[in-house]
């Protein structure tokens, strides 16, 4: 006769399962940001092809459903999302790689990519994959705001000034901060939309999941970064992430 496991063992097993579920769902949701970006760009280029359009439409629907599944898993698990694994991340290298990948996906969209980087290095403490996924979400948001074409600018500048707000601020170098920005010349947002932009599941797009900007906000909070946005209808939008530069013993240009 098999005996039932002790209640505390059962409880620990459920806790472990919940933590694992939250971790998997979080990573899946982050990866979907990049998949959605490239799937959307492919769909836009195939919009006039009667044979390919139904296929790309199904692809985007699948991405939306997966995003909903990941969010539901996070809700059901009731576990805090994984903490940031802090390592030194060079935002110059990260932004350069992002620009290269984005450029490959832009032909046919009418969107011109520009970069405005004034630094040789920009080390920050954080999780490079999480920051990359946040930027992918911002790039997707920008491209989708420029249906008729426009200019997408990825910027990176440093200055000595106020430190980012954070409950657990990372080590800083002489008060220097680095500003990572994604700027578009698209349709912009009204004040009403701007107020709700970071709400989970809020979207103005037909196939939008409403989680992209919410993820960006979460990543910013985990990294002690300040997230800001400026937008004007018909004039475009700029999202800015302000990080504290990590202390490396080297002077930043």
Task: Provide the CATH number for the domain around residue 126.
Answer: 3.30.565.10
State the average pLDDT over residues 241-253. 71
Residues 172 and 63 in one domain: no
Last residue of a domain, one of 36, 51, 77: 77
Residues forming beta bridges with residue 153, ordered by sequence position: 114, 183
Count the domains in the chain: 2
Q: Are residues 91 and 182 in the same domain?
A: yes
Q: What is the mean pLDDT of residues 237-253?
A: 77
Mean pLDDT value across the chain: 76
Mean pLDDT of 103-120: 89
What pLDDT, on a 0 to 100 scale, did the predictor assign at position 82? 53
CB atoms within 10 A of CB 109: 20
pLDDT, residue 197, reads: 75
| 124-162 pLDDT tens trace | 999 888 898 889 889 988 998 898 899 999 999 987 654
Q: What integer pLDDT is reported at residue 83 of this predicted model? A: 57
Residues 63 and 92 in one domain: no
Q: At what angle do helices 53-77 and 7-45 cross, to 10 degrees?
A: 160
pLDDT at 251: 42
In which domain, by residue range, is 186 found? 87-244
Q: What is the pTM of this model?
A: 0.65
Q: Are residues 171 and 217 in the same domain?
A: yes
Percentage of the chain beyond pLDDT 70 is 68
**Residue among 71, 62, 40 nearest 142 (CA):** 40
173 and 197 fall within a common domain: yes
Tens of pLDDT, residues 50-108 = 777 777 777 777 777 777 667 656 654 544 455 556 789 999 999 999 999 888 888 88
Last residue of a domain, one of 77, 111, 131: 77
Three-state SS string over 92-111 comes to HHHHHHHHHHHHHHCCCCCE
Q: Is residue 251 part of a domain?
A: no
Pick from 29, 46, 77: which residue ends a domain?
Answer: 77
């Amino acid at each position: 006769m098999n005996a039932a496991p002790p209640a505390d063992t059962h409880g620990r097993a459920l806790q472990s399962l919940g933590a694992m579920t939250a971790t998997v769902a979080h990573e899946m949701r982050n990866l979907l940001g990049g998949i959605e970006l490239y799937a959307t760009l492919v769909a836009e280029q195939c919009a006039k092809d009667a044979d390919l359009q139904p296929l790309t439409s199904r692809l985007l629907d699948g991405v939306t459903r997966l995003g909903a599944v990941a969010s539901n898993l996070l809700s059901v698990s009731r576990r805090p999302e994984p903490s940031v694994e802090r390592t030194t991340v060079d935002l110059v290298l990260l932004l350069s790689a992002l620009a290269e990948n984005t450029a490959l996906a832009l032909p046919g969209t009418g969107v011109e990519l520009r970069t405005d980087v004034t630094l040789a290095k920009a080390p920050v403490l954080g999780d490079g994959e999480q920051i990359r996924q946040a930027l992918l979400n911002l790039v997707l948001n920008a491209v989708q705001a420029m249906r008729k074409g426009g200019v997408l600018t990825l910027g990176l500048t440093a200055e000595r000034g106020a430190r980012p707000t954070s409950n657990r601020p990372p080590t800083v170098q002489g008060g220097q901060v680095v500003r990572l920005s994604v700027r578009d010349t698209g349709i912009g947002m009204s004040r009403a939309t701007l107020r709700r932009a970071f709400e989970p599941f809020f979207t103005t797009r037909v196939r939008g999941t409403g989680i992209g900007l919410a993820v960006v906000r979460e990543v910013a909070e985990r990294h002690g970064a300040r997230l800001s946005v400026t937008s004007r209808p018909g004039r475009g939008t700029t999202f800015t992430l302000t990080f504290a530069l990590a202390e490396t013993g080297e002077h930043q240009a």
